[in-house]
Amino acid sequence: MDLCKICDHGLETIISFGEMPISNRFVSDLTTDEFFYDLSLGFCPKCLMVQLENCVDPDMMFNPDYAYFSSISRAMEGHFKEMADEIIVSVSDRPRPFVVELGTNDGIMLKHIAERGVPHLGVEPSANVGASAREKGVNILVEFFNSKCASEIMDSHGQADIICGANVMCHIENINSVFDGVRILLKPEGEFFFEDPYLSNIIQKTSFDQIYDEHVYYFSGLAVSGLAKRHGLELVNMVPQEVHGGSMRYYLKKGSGNPVTNNVDFFLSQEKALNLDSLEGYASFKERVDKICSDFRNVLLKIKADGKRVAAYGATSKSTTLLIYSKVGPGLIDYVSDTTPTKIGKYTPGTHIPVKSYEHFLGDSPPYTVLLAWNHKAEILEKEQEYRKGGGKFITFFPEVTIE
Q: Which residues bind ligand DWN (CB under 6 A)?
A: 68, 72-73, 167, 214, 314-318, 338-340, 343, 358, 373, 375-376, 379-380, 383
C-beta nearest to ligand DWN: residue: 314
Of residues 43 and 144, the one with the C-beta less far from ligand SAH: 144
The least distance separating ligand SAH from the CB of residue 324, rounded to whole angstroms, comes to 21
- Please, are residues 379 and 73 in contact by the beta-carbon 8 Å criterion? yes
Minimum distance from residue 254 beta carbon to ligand DWN (Å): 27
Distance (Å, whole) CA 317 – CA 330: 17
Q: How many CB atoms lie within 10 A of CB 365?
A: 13
Task: Say which entry of ligand SAH, ligand DWN, none residue 47 contacts (CB below 5 to 8 A, set by partner kind).
Answer: none
Q: How far is the CB of 378 from ligand DWN (least distance, A)?
A: 10
Helix (H, G, I), strand (E, B) or coil at 315: coil
Q: Closest CB to ligand DWN among 98 and 361?
A: 361
77 or 152: CB nearest ligand DWN: 77
- Find, among 391, 385, 342, the residue nearest to 27 by Cα: 342
Q: How far is CA 142 from the centre of its chain?
A: 20
Q: Which is nearer to ligand DWN, 197 or 281 (CB)?
A: 197
Q: How far is the CB of 71 from ligand SAH (least distance, A)?
A: 8
Among candidates 399, 315, 318, which has minimal Cα distance to 358?
Answer: 315
3-state helix vs strand vs coil in the chain, percent to 5: 40, 25, 40
Alpha carbon distances (Å) from 157 to 121, 161, 327: 9, 12, 50
Closer to ligand DWN by Cβ: residue 271 or 338: 338
Nearer of residues 13 and 176 to ligand SAH, judged by Cβ: 176
What's the closest the beta carbon of residue 138 comes to ligand DWN, in angstroms? 17
Binding site partner of 98, from ligand SAH, ligand DWN, none, Cβ cut-off 5-8 A by kind: none
Phi and psi at residue 25, to the nearest 5°:
-100, 90
Q: Which residue is nearest to ligand SAH (CB)?
A: 103
Instruction: Please list the residues that pair with 122 across neighbouring strands.
Output: 101, 140
Q: Which residues bind to ligand SAH, rule: CB under 6 A?
A: 58, 62, 66, 68, 70, 102-103, 105, 108, 123-126, 129, 144-145, 166-168, 171-172
CB of residue 109 to ligand SAH, shortest distance in Å: 7
99's contact among ligand SAH, ligand DWN, none, with CB below 5 to 8 A by partner kind, is none
- Residue 296 CA to residue 20 CA, distance in Å, equals 19
Q: What are the DSSP E strand ranges found in 22-150?
A: 36-43, 50-52, 99-102, 120-123, 140-141
What is the closest distance, in whole angstroms, from the C-beta atom of residue 292 to ligand DWN in the complex?
A: 17
